[in-house]
Copies of this chain bind each other. A is one copy, B any other.
């Protein structure tokens, strides 16, 4: 039946990260793979009470169809929460989505024709790569520096793409604690990116799932808050701040762009679950999302610290292994010596009962074989220590085997 496939699906592969999630079902594997939020941060007692009350007393509403734009109660609560953060919007600028992956899908639907160009980081979030690939978008990678995307390189690649007659549409960035690298874009670069977008008439897709999980350093304003032309679309999500199982996110956009996104969502899933929307809204109204975030940030900081400490303790020194030290989010990004293939190494790692995400699938240019992503979010500091010790052993063995093979040649 493969001859019935669309052109777009024939070019789309299964997601390595989703297949990996299946492995984490084996209880003896320590997984640094999926970017899963820490379950101990889920306010489950409060949510259980809210869910039961909503379903019992408000079932005619929360178990019914809802507005495509999303529940007004939730959108109002999000507006109230965003205002002190310098994002002063009305509910008309907010669209509730069935988590951020849907927001990426809607961006593709609304704005991207096949062969349209989107610039993205090297590396970048692989879920975005999957969405762009499914819509046959031309993904042009731009290297990352320690303070975010290399904007000189972005300008160079814009010029090359324009010279080649391509249709340039957008820049996709994850400014805070980027997935997978953990890198944060500086304020200067955010401003300059916005200027470039203005000059070149590009949209900016600002994906910020982790910004509210900052546990060190100072918050940096979102690009959305600095945009006075309505060319930035901001993606926020409840998946990391509240829990992933609600499949709930919001995207911010203005005017025509919002109108296009709403039309795309109507055809995509009519509306997001009112039940999950109202659970989140009531949690925000009763307990305050900011209070909750204050409680959970130290949990993630402790895990990051445990991972950094374990990496320093166990990883072979002097062979050129490096890793990032993010100020928030869920991920440490690791670079192995050139010539080591993290995808090949994964099989050994799984035999040693530890898992991670190979970096290659986060590179749209086919690079990154020697990189990998370590999520410190799911497991306890003690397990992190144990898992990194296992991983270090696998890395050491892999490097030694490589050296032996090189010597034998």
- Give residues in A with beta carbon < 8 Å to B: 1-2, 4-9, 12-15, 18, 21-22, 34, 36-37, 39, 42, 44-45, 47-49, 51-53, 55-56, 59-60, 62-68, 98-99, 101-102, 105, 108-113, 116, 127, 130-131, 133-134, 169, 203, 230-231, 239, 243-247, 255-257, 259-260, 262-264, 266-276
Task: Give the CA-CA distance A127 to B263 in the complex, in Å.
Answer: 12
Q: Which chain B residues border A245 with CB–CB below 8 Å?
A: 62-66, 273-275
Q: Which chain B residues border A109 with CB–CB below 8 Å?
A: 6, 8-9, 134
B63 and A246 form a contact (CB under 8 A): yes
Tell me the minimal C-beta distance from A294 to chain B in angstroms.
20
Q: Which chain B residues border A169 with CB–CB below 8 Å?
A: 4
Q: Which chain B residues border A113 with CB–CB below 8 Å?
A: 6-8
B9 and A263 form a contact (CB under 8 A): yes
Provided the pairs A1-B230, A67-B21, A273-B245 are in contact, do residues A131 and B6 lie with their beta carbons within 8 angstroms? no
Q: Contacting A44 at CB < 8 Å: which of B44, B63, B131?
A: B63
Task: Give the CA-CA distance A132 to B66 in the complex, in Å.
Answer: 22
B134 and A4 form a contact (CB under 8 A): no
Tell me the minimal C-beta distance from A170 to chain B in angstroms.
8
Q: Which chain B residues border A263 with CB–CB below 8 Å?
A: 9, 12-15
Tell me the minimal C-beta distance from A51 to chain B in angstroms.
4
Q: Which chain B residues border A110 with CB–CB below 8 Å?
A: 5-6, 9
Provided the pairs A98-B269, A230-B1 are in contact, do residues A65 and B244 lie with their beta carbons within 8 angstroms? yes
Q: Which chain B residues border A130 with CB–CB below 8 Å?
A: 266-267
Q: Which chain B residues border A9 with CB–CB below 8 Å?
A: 109-111, 260, 263-264
A267 and B105 form a contact (CB under 8 A): yes
Q: Which chain B residues border A276 with CB–CB below 8 Å?
A: 273, 275-276
A39 and B18 form a contact (CB under 8 A): no
Tell me the minimal C-beta distance from A94 to chain B in angstroms.
16
Task: Give the CA-CA distance A169 to B4 in the complex, in Å.
Answer: 7
Q: Which residue of B lies closest to A260 (CB)?
A: B9
Task: Give the CA-CA distance A67 to B25 in the complex, in Å.
Answer: 10
Provided the pairs A1-B256, A4-B257, A55-B44 are in contact, do residues A267 and B101 lie with their beta carbons within 8 angstroms? yes
A64 and B256 form a contact (CB under 8 A): no
List 20 other contacts, CB 8 Å, given A6-B113, A105-B269. A1-B203, A4-B203, A5-B111, A7-B113, A9-B260, A9-B264, A15-B263, A39-B60, A44-B59, A45-B56, A48-B51, A48-B52, A59-B243, A63-B246, A65-B239, A127-B270, A245-B273, A245-B275, A269-B269, A273-B273
Q: Which residue of B lies closest to A5 (CB)?
A: B260
Q: Which residue of B lies closest to A277 (CB)?
A: B245
A98 and B98 form a contact (CB under 8 A): yes
**Nearest 3 pairs of A and B residues by beta carbon:** A44-B59, A52-B52, A63-B245
